[in-house]
A = this chain, B = another copy of it.
């Protein structure tokens, strides 16, 4: 991580007061793990190892950061049993030992955020401020839309006729949910998300004009789905666009009409998925990748950033396709040569034939 590059004032700003004062024993009581250290230690923040002070809880997520464990100033560190066993040099360092430190950190972050939210509510009450409304009055919700009792709708959202928002789901702000689109339970939709705009469908008439195909399907989103800021998921043409349970979409992603994304897949920012593509379960797609339409990816397919998927992939695995970065001068020479690559291949074949090296049909 690049935290070391951050200026020191990152953690010094006025608004970064230790709102949460967490006793170490309370954390372990709530989240488990084996505590090696003083339960009455009070923590004020979660920090990366290299930046942590004595009031911080930190974590060792990967062996490659093990050296930071030797020098960290953290008050307590979440580590695996293996890391704990190897750490001989600092017998005084407080530890929480757990098989999956990164997962523990994730749950700790949730516990922490929840504690912060409660503190904010109490502070607001002391200050005589009204609680934030569950449904912000600036949002425009159609009378025939259905918003679950525990759902939250932030400011300036639009929920259209027939749309459904599930229990525990949170529309942060400026989210649009189009007609008849269904958002499952416990989802998070960040600012600017558009669910259910029309898919991009047109037929060409005899003069080369595009005639709109009305998009009569909708969007169905499962539970535990998170959708990043300004991401768009188009409604289907005749069937629904479907996002299954547990899918995570980063910011500025485009999901075309009729697309189907399998459960627990994750797509990074700026990805585009063209119409009628099907992505399996537990897939990952790197940032800026493009998946063309009318094709299928099997479960557990992983696509590198900026790659273009032009045909179906039936076998789980890791696939890539982007031009390697180079110094511009080198790139120019290679790019020029690349435009003649098939001729180079023919020249190699001619050389092989001249040298009697060719042993079969040209590759």
The answer on a CB contact under 8 Å between B200 and A250 is yes
Q: With contacts A194-B230, A197-B229, A326-B320 known, is A296 near B120, CB below 8 A?
A: no
Whether the Cβ atoms of B326 and A240 lie closer than 8 Å is: no
Q: Is the CB of A194 within 8 A of B198?
A: no
Minimum CB–CB distance for A68 against chain B, Å: 14
Q: Count the copies.
A: 3
Query: CB < 8 Å: which of B2, B237, B345 contacts A344?
Result: B345
Determine whether A29 belongs to the interface, using a CB cutoff of 8 Å to chain B: no
B197, B214, B319: the one contacting A328 at CB < 8 Å is B319
A46 to B311, CA, bound (A): 28
Task: Give residues of chain A (88-145) contacting chain B, Cβ–Cβ below 8 Å.
Answer: 100, 102-103, 105-107, 109-110, 112-113, 116, 120, 129, 136, 138, 140, 143
Q: Is the CB of A322 within 8 A of B320?
A: no
A140 to B139, CA, bound (A): 11
- Asked if A306 lies at the interface with its beta carbon under 8 angstroms from chain B, I say yes
A184 within 8 A of B: no
Is A75 located at the chain interface by the 8 A CB criterion? no
With contacts A251-B197, A344-B337 known, is A270 near B268, CB below 8 A?
no
Task: Find out whether the CB atom of B176 lies under 8 angstroms from the CB atom of A174.
Answer: yes
Instruction: Tell whether, in the assembled complex, residue B324 and residue A330 are in contact, meaning their CB atoms are under 8 Å apart.
Output: no
A226 adjacent to chain B (CB < 8 Å): yes
Q: In whole angstroms, how far apart are the Cα atoms of A2 and B325 in the complex?
A: 30
* A272 neighbours in B (Cβ, 8 Å): 252, 268-270, 287-288
A334 to chain B: which residues have CB within 8 Å?
338-342
CB distance from A229 to the nearest CB of B (A): 4
Once the chains bind, are B251 and A251 in contact (CB under 8 Å)?
Answer: no
Choose one: B5, B154, B203, B355; the contact of A106 (CB below 8 Å). Answer: B203
A224 to B238, CA, bound (A): 23
Q: What separation, in Å, do the CA atoms of A188 and B303 have in the docked complex?
A: 34
Scan A226-253; emit 1 where CB is below 8 A from any B CB, else 0: 1011101010011110100010101110
Q: Bound state CA distance, A138 and B157, in angstroms?
A: 11
Q: Is A34 an interface residue (CB 8 A)?
A: no
Q: Does A357 count as interface, using CB distance less than 8 angstroms? A: yes
**Chain B residues positioned under 8 Å from A326 (CB to CB):** 319-321, 339
Residue on B nearest A99 in the bound complex, by CB: B206
A152 part of interface (Cβ distance < 8 Å): no
Bound: A208/B344 CA distance, A: 44
CB distance from A21 to the nearest CB of B (A): 15
The answer to whether A328 touches B337 (Cβ under 8 A) is: no
Indicate if the CB atoms of B317 and A321 lie closer than 8 Å.
Answer: no
A281-307 interface bits toward B, Cβ cutoff 8 Å, 1 = contact, 0 = none? 010000110101011100000011111
Can you list 23 contacts pairing A with B, beta carbon distance less than 8 Å? A2-B276, A6-B260, A10-B239, A10-B240, A100-B203, A103-B211, A110-B211, A174-B194, A192-B194, A229-B234, A268-B272, A269-B274, A287-B290, A288-B288, A305-B308, A308-B323, A317-B328, A321-B325, A333-B341, A333-B342, A348-B351, A351-B352, A355-B355
In addition to A321-B324, A338-B341, 13 A-B residue pairs with Cβ atoms within 8 Å of each other are A10-B242, A106-B211, A113-B216, A120-B161, A140-B173, A154-B158, A156-B156, A200-B251, A208-B282, A229-B232, A230-B252, A324-B336, A337-B344
